[in-house]
């Protein structure tokens, strides 16, 4: 049975007060909260077996290495990768994307084409622009519709024999739209193009099976999944990762080093230079264990109920406009009220202890499409309640009354 009040006890931060009011945390699309079970794993590492990994013969190093590699196996199993070495630990989604972009700098030529979608986070736009500047490749954009979905007919027209790479987020961070990634992957592969899926916003709600999807690269961050900041995952098919040059040079990622030549280690170490975020990697695995203990499908069902309830509640407010009305979306509502600037409403909500995000959400092209400066974004997680949504509705009404 799903008992939200019992689960909330795992998150001590949810019981604190902000500006004298009980905290209502609705900025989960930016970062999720971390349960005490995961925090305890981090503390346990530093208290009991803090040591560097893969390098020491002593007991602490062996224990740290075992825990770190166990976490890699947990991530592999969660995303159903074929091999543990296809899971590369990174600092997060942004570094994962930059790793691939860096590698393709030596593989692309002038006139090659890359496709991104109009729904992307800046981290899935800027690295490819930089890559195009280096290589002379062309960056083309899959347009979006007013409903906040991708124009799939336009996507098919953009695909051609020159298309080398396609980059699309699984879920839009700004609108919550779930993109049809299976269709995108299949059609891109028919043209010989490789596909990278940004799964940062999808991972808390959807359990991606990378083998079933046949996706070439899939990336995400632990802090979206009840884990710590500063650690994430790059999944890539073995053959593709082996074909890419190393992203960074340093210790751990080498097989041999002389002053004349260096040879690189096998996967995954080829892409993991230097001392990693060991505690973070171990906690990433613990966070997935925590969420799988609840059940990703169970979480998604409850969050769908929260989304439906919140959508109905907010639509009762005069002048409130929701951006992103796809039939398939996660628990995100991006909205404005009349001509009131989103920052003003967000600031008043904060005084009531209600944490939402305001601005362009690192997705400025979406805001430019709608010709708005930004939105107020309420994003829900499995530890949120219907009562908190009632407080959000009341808070928005109060803010609007103060600002009009």
Does residue 146 belong to any structural domain of this protein? yes
Q: Indicate if 131 and 100 belong to the same structural domain.
A: yes
Supply the range of the domain harboring residue 362.
4-28+295-403
Q: Indicate if 209 and 354 belong to the same structural domain.
A: no
pLDDT at 180: 98
Q: Indicate if 20 and 58 belong to the same structural domain.
A: no
Does residue 194 belong to any structural domain of this protein? yes
Does residue 221 belong to any structural domain of this protein? yes
Does residue 36 belong to any structural domain of this protein? no
Q: Which of 246, 265, 293 is the last residue of a domain?
A: 293
Does residue 280 belong to any structural domain of this protein? yes
Domain CATH number, residue 282: 3.40.640.10
pLDDT at 265: 84
Q: Indicate if 208 and 97 belong to the same structural domain.
A: yes
Q: Indicate if 263 and 326 belong to the same structural domain.
A: no
Q: How far apart are CA 60 and CA 49, in angstroms?
A: 5
Q: Indicate if 314 and 265 belong to the same structural domain.
A: no
Does residue 369 belong to any structural domain of this protein? yes
pLDDT at 255: 80
Q: Indicate if 109 and 235 belong to the same structural domain.
A: yes
pLDDT at 252: 81
pLDDT at 254: 77
- The total of structural domains in the chain comes to 2
Does residue 44 belong to any structural domain of this protein? no
Q: Indicate if 272 and 314 belong to the same structural domain.
A: no
Does residue 289 belong to any structural domain of this protein? yes
Domain CATH number, residue 356: 3.90.1150.10
Q: Indicate if 148 and 284 belong to the same structural domain.
A: yes
pLDDT at 315: 98
| Backbone torsions φ then ψ of 24, nearest 5 degrees | -115, 105
Q: Which of 293, 312, 327 is the last residue of a domain?
A: 293
Q: Indicate if 95 and 193 belong to the same structural domain.
A: yes
Q: Which residues are catalytic?
A: 362
Q: Which of 274, 293, 312 is the last residue of a domain?
A: 293
What's the pTM? Answer: 0.96
- pLDDT in 10s for each residue of the chain, 404 residues: 789 999 999 999 999 999 999 999 999 999 999 999 999 999 999 999 999 999 889 999 999 999 999 999 999 999 999 999 999 999 999 999 999 999 999 999 999 999 999 999 999 999 999 999 999 999 999 999 999 999 999 999 999 999 999 999 999 999 999 999 999 999 999 999 999 999 999 999 999 999 999 999 999 999 999 999 999 999 999 999 999 998 988 878 778 888 888 888 889 999 999 999 999 999 999 999 999 999 999 999 999 999 999 999 999 999 999 999 999 999 999 999 999 999 999 999 999 999 999 999 999 999 999 999 999 999 999 999 999 999 999 999 999 999 98
Q: Indicate if 300 and 286 belong to the same structural domain.
A: no
pLDDT at 385: 98
Q: Indicate if 266 and 306 belong to the same structural domain.
A: no
pLDDT at 56: 86
């Amino acid at each position: 049975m799903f008992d939200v009040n019992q689960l909330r006890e795992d998150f001590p931060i949810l019981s604190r007060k902000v500006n004298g009011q009980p905290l209502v945390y609705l900025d989960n699309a930016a970062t999720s909260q971390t349960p005490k079970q995961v925090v305890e794993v981090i503390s346990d590492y530093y208290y009991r077996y803090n040591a560097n990994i893969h390098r020491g013969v002593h007991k602490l190093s062996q224990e740290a290495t075992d825990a770190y590699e166990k976490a890699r196996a947990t991530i592999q199993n969660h995303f159903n990768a074929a091999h543990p070495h296809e899971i590369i630990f990174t600092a997060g989604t942004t570094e994962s994307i930059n790793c691939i972009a860096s590698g393709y700098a030596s593989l692309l030529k002038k006139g090659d084409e890359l496709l991104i979608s109009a729904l992307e986070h800046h981290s899935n736009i800027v690295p490819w622009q930089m890559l195009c500047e280096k290589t002379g490749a062309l960056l083309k954009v899959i347009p979006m519709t007013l409903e906040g979905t991708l124009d799939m007919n336009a996507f098919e027209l953009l695909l051609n024999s020159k298309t080398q790479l396609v980059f699309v987020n699984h879920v839009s961070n700004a609108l919550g739209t779930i993109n049809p990634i299976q269709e995108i992957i299949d059609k891109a592969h028919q043209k010989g193009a490789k596909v990278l899926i940004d799964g940062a916003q999808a991972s808390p709600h959807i359990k991606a099976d990378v083998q079933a999807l046949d996706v070439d690269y899939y990336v995400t961050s632990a802090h979206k999944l009840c884990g710590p900041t500063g650690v994430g995952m790059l999944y890539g098919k073995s053959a593709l990762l082996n074909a890419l040059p190393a992203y960074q040079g340093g210790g751990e990622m080498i097989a041999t080093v002389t002053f004349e030549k260096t040879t690189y280690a096998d996967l995954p170490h080829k892409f993991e230079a230097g001392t990693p975020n060991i505690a973070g990697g171990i906690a990433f695995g613990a966070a997935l264990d925590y969420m799988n203990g609840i059940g990703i499908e169970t979480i998604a069902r409850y969050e769908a109920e929260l989304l439906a309830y919140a959508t109905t509640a907010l639509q009762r407010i005069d002048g409130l406009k929701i951006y992103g009305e796809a039939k398939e979306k996660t628990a995100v509502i991006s909205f404005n009220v009349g001509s009131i600037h989103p920052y003003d409403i967000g600031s008043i909500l904060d005084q009531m202890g209600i944490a939402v995000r305001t601005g362009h959400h690192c997705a400025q092209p979406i805001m430019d499409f709608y010709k708005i400066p930004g939105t107020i974004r309420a994003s829900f997680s499995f530890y949120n309640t219907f009562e908190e949504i009632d407080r959000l509705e009341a808070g928005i009404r109060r803010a609007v009354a103060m600002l009009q």
